[in-house]
Amino acid sequence: MEMMTDITLVAAEVLALFCMMLVGVAARLAGILTKDSTRLLSSLLVNVTQPLMILTSMQISYTQERLRTGLFIALLSAGFHVLLSVVARLIYGKVKNSRVMEFGTVFANCAYLGFPVLTVIFGEEGLFYGAFFTLFYNIYIRIYGIYLLTRGGKSSLFKAFVNPGTVASVIGILLFVFSVSLPAPIYTAFSAVGEVTFPLSMIVVGNLVCNQSIVSMLRLRSFAFSAVKLLALPLAALGICLLARADETVTYMCVTMAAMPAGANTAVFSELYTNDSASAASVISISTLLSIGTIPLMIFVTSKALEWIG
């Protein structure tokens, strides 16, 4: 792949998503969206549009290589998120009122922002690999994520494993393995609804930006969080991949997902379990804004590192 061209496309994609976020800001300022809109729109994203996007992304031709790579990425995602949990606890464990920052470190914007970036890098296989990566994410966020925010509160194992995102991933994998294609009208409908995920998710983030003042949003801890999330973690992921001699696909996947800002789920889950969505909106807003520059930078660094090692 011609990475200089890809880096330009990645930067353009992130900038386009930022513009979508500004649409959310404008809609909020115009009174079209309200503070309470976040929960409803997030529920639509998590339970409808994203699962359909995952399902249709797996409607590609079966090859053993794709299945092998996808399963390896799913396993890699499990280790990646568990490791992030340990790192986040070490960094923020003794910081007062840091549950939101810890949550945002572990559970990044892998789907809403990560998927379109992966599409730029990998083409049609980007969403396919992304669906495998988020398979563990969808389970882990409903187990460890809830435990983290409630500091020991009970989560439902049934909901952790049986939720729209996980079910869509499993069905999609089965259809892929057995080379079963959805009927054309169903695929067209599901695909069209799934494509709403990207713009709608950024509109939600834009709405979140308006939940607090500029002064409260520009807190030092939000910038410190962003430095760790957007620079330190993807560089660490790159280093691990290089030491492990991971192939190019796995390396780009790891660095890209590690470079994602805090996800909108940080605010959704914080509002449900901590009533601290203001802090969540702050880390989401700042990390998303800064990621406009840091994501292309990390892709560029990765390409140069891979060129260097031959």
Q: Which tokens belong to 257?
A: 């997902």
Position 135: which residue type? L
Give percent above pLDDT 70 in the chain.
92
**What are the tokens at 198?**
């990207």
Inform me whether the pLDDT recorded for 165 exceeds 90: no
Question: In this predicted structure, which of 10-14, 133-137, 215-219 has the lowest mean pLDDT?
Answer: 215-219
To which residue do tokens 């996980």 refer? 166
Task: Give the model's pLDDT for residue 5.
Answer: 44
Question: What are the pLDDT digits (tens) for 55-67?
Answer: 998 898 899 988 9
* Look-up of token digits 């994501």: 295
* Residue 138 CB-density burial (10 A; 0-12 exposed, 13-18 middle, 19+ buried): buried
How buried is 127 (Cβ within 10 angstroms: 0-12 exposed, 13-18 middle, 19+ buried)? buried
- pLDDT of 126-152, one tens digit each? 888 888 988 888 889 888 888 888 776
Cα distances (Å, whole numbers) of residue 125 to 57, 59, 79, 104, 254: 8, 10, 22, 27, 15
Q: Other C-beta atoms within 10 Å of 224: how many?
A: 15
CA atoms of 137 and 166, how far apart (whole Å): 9
pLDDT in tens, 246-294: 888 889 988 999 999 987 778 777 766 765 666 777 788 788 888 888 9
Per-residue pLDDT tens digits for 24-50: 999 999 999 988 887 788 788 888 998
Whether 209 and 217 have beta carbons less than 8 Å apart is answered as yes
Q: Which residue has the higher pLDDT, 58 or 10?
A: 58
Provide the mean pLDDT of the chain: 84
> Tokens 């460890």 label which residue?
144
Nearest partner of 255 among 293, 285, 297, 309, judged by Cα = 297
Per-residue CA distances from 19 to 25, 97, 302 (Å): 10, 31, 26
Closest CA to 51 of 178, 206, 170, 175: 170
CA distance 128 to 151: 34
Q: Is the pLDDT of residue 2 over 50?
A: no
DSSP the chain: --HHHHHHHHHHHHHHHHHHHHHHHHHHHTTSS-TTHHHHHHHHIIIIIHHHHHHHHT-S---HHHHHHHHHHHHHHHHHHHHHHHHHHHHHTTSTT-HHHHHHHHSB-TTTTHHHHHHHHHTTHHHHHHHHHHHHHHHHIIIIIHHHHHTS----HHHHHSSHHHHHHHHHHHHHHTTPPPPHHHHHHHHHHHTTHHHHHHHHHHHHHTTS-HHHHS-HHHHHHHHIIIIIHHHHHHHHHHHTT--HHHHHHHHHHHT--B-THHHHHHHHHTS-HHHHHHHHHHHHHHHHHHHHHHHHHHHHHHHHT-
Mean pLDDT of 9-32: 86
